[in-house]
Chain A
Amino acid sequence: MNEMVKAIRNHEDDNVATLFSTADAGTPVAVLDTKGESTIVTVLDDIPYGHKIALVPIGNGEQVTKYGEEIGIATQAIAVGAHVHIHNIDSIRGRGDWKQEEQA
């Protein structure tokens, strides 16, 4: 069996994949789709088990997609292979704080 670190992409529209091993920055990762087809992405950051990486460049304010659905928006530009988590994406649900900012 190929010992390369594996990541799962749950839907063809997804721009992130979830890693099932820790990976140090610079490690190539095999990203598997639902049919088992793989593409290689080199991670830019140290990635913990169960965390996500970007599969394509995601611009600031663009939608982050997992399961073919929106899980949040990017709060900064995210490069291919970068760690995608609470430091660079944010929920768009229940954002009472946004309304306050608009009114200010």
Chain B
Amino acid sequence: MSSYMGYIRKDGKIGSRNHVAVIPSVVCANEVVESIVHNTAMTQGIIHHQGCCQTPPDLERITDCLIKIGENPNVGAVLIVSLGCEGVDTDRLEREIRATGKPVERINIQELGGTSPSIQAGIDKAQQLVLQISGMQRTEVDLSTFVMGIKCGASDTTSGVASNPVIGYVADKVIEHGGTVIFGETTEFIGAEHILQRRAKDEFVASEIGRIVKEMEDRAKAIGVDMRKGQPTPGNIAGGLSTIEEKSLGAIVKSGTKTIDGVIGYTEAPKGPGLWIKDSPGREIELLSGMAVAGAQVILFSTGRGAPQGFPVVPVVKICGNPVTYDRMSNDMDINAGRIVTGEKSIEEVGDETFELLLRVASGEMNKGESIKYTKSMDFYCLGPVI
């Protein structure tokens, strides 16, 4: 089986969901967005905390990120909620999303006379968009169109040996079918960047890997912190990790074994199929947003202690390596990779099971986080100060 059922967008991309994204162009519009989303079906609010009183590069970055969220193929239509005086370029936001051929509407809170009239106008606009796209049908499409993001969080001893290798196995399969896989968390490359560089397509990509690790370290050093020092931590050592290479490889193993085709910035999308590194921090909310910005249709998320995060427009499928955590949090965890450490199942068996679930979720089956609406934890990664 190498196909799934997706929504074919006008720009040729394939969606695994058909949401109306309600996008606040600035944090001040969040309250209006939440009320609109509460009162309409199929809508997802892109609740972030940026968009004003930031440095010009960060305002451009947020504008780019919001455009890319609107362009994500899981989004069928967009309602932009603007305050009216924000730093984000709301005209460009509207123009560039509209260029994908998706229906786009926009309201302005200050022009409409405040919060309450904007909520009413927003509900009316969102309703029109919902009615416009709700009849769209899924079509069988080849897996080569598929774009997957990868993440691990709330890791424990089982992550590097069970759940991350399962995701690595699935990543290899998606790439073998011609698809696209994106992994990030630049901070976790430290100590194993020489091993990642050996997997780079060419010398340029290898030098890019070295560059992003150095830049991430330099940012930490600039505030007087050395991220490499004291790694692995005493807790890691007590848990059985002997060297920094072992710690970093335990995270990197979720990227599988394929050649790394390129490095992309936080606001960028892969430039073709294959395996891509997104320069990004490790924290869930910024990383998941970075994957959605890159056009991910589904994100596979490995955990040991039990991270529950989801994302507004992209399903986040949880692979839990710890059997005790899986039993305790089975309403949040999609796949029990804890059966690997108990010896009940092999990495490949759980990998095949995960691959099948991935295709079902890509085709519309809800995962556990979506079914309980754990979908609001997001924000964007900025570089400069709030001013």
Contact = CB atoms under 8 A, between A and B. Distances in A.
B245 A49 contact: no
Contact of A91 (B169, B243, B342): B243
Contact of A10 (B192, B239, B253): B253
Nearest to A3: B343
A64 B228 CA distance: 21
B377 interface: no
Contact of A8 (B249, B257, B340): B340
B357 interface: no
Interface string B216-258: 0000000000001000000001011011111001101100010
A72 B191 contact: no
Contacts of A33: 346
Interface residues of A, number: 37
B165 interface: yes
Given A30-B343, A32-B346, A36-B346, A91 B161 contact: no
B244 A8 contact: no
A27 to B, nearest CB: 15
Interface residues of B, number: 34
B208 to A, nearest CB: 20
Contact of A36 (B157, B240, B345): B345
Given A6-B341, A72-B246, A50 B239 contact: yes
B145 interface: no
A34 interface: yes
B140 interface: no
Contact of B240 (A35, A38, A52): A52
A72 B242 CA distance: 9
A26 B126 CA distance: 68
Most chain A CB neighbours (cut-off 10 Å) among B165, B194, B341, B348: B341
A84 B298 CA distance: 38
B243 A89 contact: yes
A18 interface: yes
Contacts of A35: 346-348
Contacts of B257: 68
A6 B343 CA distance: 6
Interface in B321-351: 340-349
B349 A86 contact: no
Contact of B346 (A34, A66, A67, A72): A34
B343 A2 contact: yes
Given A50-B157, A52-B242, A93-B243, 5 more contacts: A35-B348, A50-B240, A69-B195, A85-B237, A91-B243
10 contacts: A8-B161, A10-B161, A18-B161, A20-B342, A34-B169, A36-B345, A36-B348, A72-B243, A72-B245, A94-B228
